[in-house]
A and B are shown apart, each in its own frame.
Chain A
């Protein structure tokens, strides 16, 4: 199967600081992958490169064989690690916005999820709590039938109950034809839904493995292995 996301000697430098040091990576469809690493390890940089929000210093990053561009954006659904939606817009306006621009967006499913969570669609985003805003963002992103979901810290700022809901949303909206990359350092929370993990540290990939292999061969949880690899 051809890779939906591929990196070849990918380097990203900010001034003298090298955020990514020649990453080589291949991600295929049909899996939920954890991009795991401590703060500042290069997780967000990698995801931003895949979305074309920053440009590589050298090397290349390909989405379905093509550099990030208009075509790749049709098949990638991205959740940034910050509030990126227009604060003055109502939830309903945001749903319409996504519906207008993404052919694969299911507005009906999005509104249904919003209703189930008790989000009032007439409310402006700026009047919502931080946690509710994150849920709105995630619902919009997961209501697309994309081929690659790039979720940057999707559970970073929400309470444990909301975390469960978010993970449930990810699993129930995910399809076999897509790959989901979840970047986080809250491993124990996401461990149960992951098929594969990529450990990234100081701009380098230090481990790529299936979760089953970690459990069987190393006889420990992903969280345990993470704590061992990234011991301070």
Chain B
């Protein structure tokens, strides 16, 4: 059943994401062509024509923002509208488990977050790529790598892996936090939006507090303040490991708790208006 839910979730969200990402990539190509023509012919538009000349760039920036914003907005709307409003009458009467409903939304929203991230990278690539791009990247990479290594920071494949994993955990954690806040709207009669925002802020305050406490504890344990540790080049790699895996562990623990709470609300305390 999860497979079927995911399939239908992709249909429901793809109708927004696919045209949006498509339009964004087409706009990237158009902007690149436009810039190339401008450069090749050294066209400088005078006065008000210059404003018109900026339109492709403005459209590109707006689409860039739209693609990134859509991942969050669609995730919120799909969970709220599809589960907590009238459409919930259909979804919660399907012979499926509550966690399957949640997982289908979570998996699809995560995939779209990754896709939109990759589309943004691809778009920037379209805008700047030249025959020399790779050698330029190589050149700068060597400089950055060497100077970072001199400071005790080694940009290894392991570090890249750590960053990818922690980003993924961060994305899933953020989505679960949004879902938990939306599930809290179930307890409000007429002020659902206010309740959702309030719950989201409250969850964040609690997490921030726990993070501060954890950082202080780590500082005490190492007999140094966090900023002192940061400045001590001998610790860089170990320090990075600690930060990345520490924050990952914390995100996993809080996400599991919030997921469980959301599941409990939807399974045992559901009150659709």
Interface residues of A (CB under 8 A from B): 14-15, 48, 51-55, 70-71, 73-74, 76, 78, 80, 82-86, 88, 93, 97, 100-102
Contact = CB atoms under 8 A, between A and B. Distances in A.
Nearest to A85: B90
Contact of B270 (A14, A53, A80, A88): A53
Given A53-B92, A55-B268, A73-B93, A86 B87 contact: yes
Interface in B175-220: 189
Contact of B95 (A14, A82, A97, A102): A102
B86 A82 contact: yes
B263 to A, nearest CB: 14
A88 to B, nearest CB: 7
B33 interface: no
A54 B95 contact: no
Contacts of B1: 101
11 contacts: A14-B189, A51-B92, A52-B93, A53-B88, A73-B93, A82-B89, A83-B86, A100-B4, A101-B4, A101-B94, A101-B95
B271 interface: yes
B83 to A, nearest CB: 11
B272 interface: yes
A78 B92 CA distance: 11
Nearest to B1: A101
Interface residues of B, number: 25
B96 interface: yes
B12 interface: yes
B269 interface: yes
Given A73-B93, A76-B93, A102-B95, 14 more contacts: A52-B270, A53-B89, A53-B92, A53-B93, A53-B272, A54-B270, A54-B271, A55-B268, A55-B270, A70-B95, A73-B96, A74-B95, A82-B89, A84-B86
Contact of B12 (A78, A82, A86, A101): A86
Contact of A84 (B8, B90, B189, B270): B90
